[in-house]
């Protein structure tokens, strides 16, 4: 009588493999979720950095003072906008006269970012506005600090218009950022 060679897995082998995958996944999940939170925080900080650079560029390009203005209702509910007007409200639509808009080539462009698009992001502190001078690209110095409950990052704006990231004192180092 010849033995038949069976190919494949037994049910027991499959169940053991699924159990091992489940255990490894449950161990890795908390660190994966933390990585996602840090990534969102880094994205939000980079968005503010890019808009500060945009504001500086528009000031020089238009040869007029351009501002990035923060409006903070609460830590979790905030917004900011770029404007070439004396003041603006980042909660208003482009058709409103007080909206945060920049005029480029005769066309008003709405440039607003809101915390609603950045989940779990808290604005713990911010200078009211950053006003860039068109001649020397100087700006009123200030800081913007973002957090997500476990991590925080600070953007420091020098009077010469240089923007840099750092980790506030007392926070754990992450993302390649240096301590403030």
Following DSSP, what letter does each residue of 86-106 receive, concatenated? S--BTTS-TTSTTB-EEEETT
Asked whether the beta carbons of 84 and 65 are under 8 A apart, the reply is yes
Q: Give pTM, 2 decimals.
A: 0.79
> Token pair for residue 69?
């203005």
pLDDT of residue 1: 52
> Do the beta carbons of residue 164 and residue 142 sit within 8 Å?
no
**Confidence at residue 49, expressed as pLDDT on a 0 to 100 scale:** 93
Give the Cα separation of 180 and 171 in Å (integer): 10
What's the rounded Cα separation, in Å, for the pair 158 and 166?
13
Considering the domain boundaries, does residue 1 fall inside one? no
Give the pLDDT mean for 103-127. 79
Structural domain containing residue 30: 12-84+114-166
pLDDT for residue 52: 92
Lowest-pLDDT range of 28-42, 49-63, 113-127: 113-127
Q: 28: buried, middle or exposed (CB in 10 Å: 19+, 13-18, 0-12)? A: exposed
Place 156 in a pLDDT band, splitting at 50, 70 and 90: very high
User: Does residue 104 form part of some domain?
Assistant: no
Count structural domains, the chain. 1
149 part of a folded domain: yes
What's the pLDDT score for residue 50? 93
Residue 120, in any domain of the structure: yes
Domain assignment present for residue 70? The answer is yes
Give the integer Cα–Cα distance in Å for 126 and 122: 11
Residue 108 within any structural domain of the chain: no
Q: Is residue 103 part of a domain?
A: no
Please check whether residue 76 lies inside any domain of the structure: yes
Q: CATH number, domain at 26?
A: 3.55.40.10
Looking at residue 78, its pLDDT comes to 87
């Amino acid at each position: 009588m010849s033995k038949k060679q069976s190919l494949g897995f037994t049910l027991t082998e499959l169940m053991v493999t699924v159990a091992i995958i489940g255990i490894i996944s449950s161990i890795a999940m908390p660190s994966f979720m933390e990585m996602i939170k840090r990534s969102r925080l880094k994205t939000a900080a980079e968005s503010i950095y890019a808009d500060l650079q945009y504001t500086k560029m528009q000031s020089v390009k238009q040869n007029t003072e351009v501002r990035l203005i923060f409006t903070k209702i609460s830590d979790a509910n905030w917004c900011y906008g770029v404007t070439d007007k004396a003041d603006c409200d980042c909660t208003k639509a482009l058709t409103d006269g007080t909206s945060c808009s920049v005029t480029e080539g005769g066309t008003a462009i709405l440039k607003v970012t809101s915390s609603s698009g950045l989940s779990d992001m808290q604005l713990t502190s911010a200078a009211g506005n950053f006003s860039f001078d068109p001649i020397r690209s100087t700006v009123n110095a200030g800081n913007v600090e973002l957090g997500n409950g476990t991590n925080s990052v600070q953007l420091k704006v020098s009077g010469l218009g240089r923007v840099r990231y750092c980790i506030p004192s007392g926070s754990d180092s992450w993302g390649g950022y240096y301590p403030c």
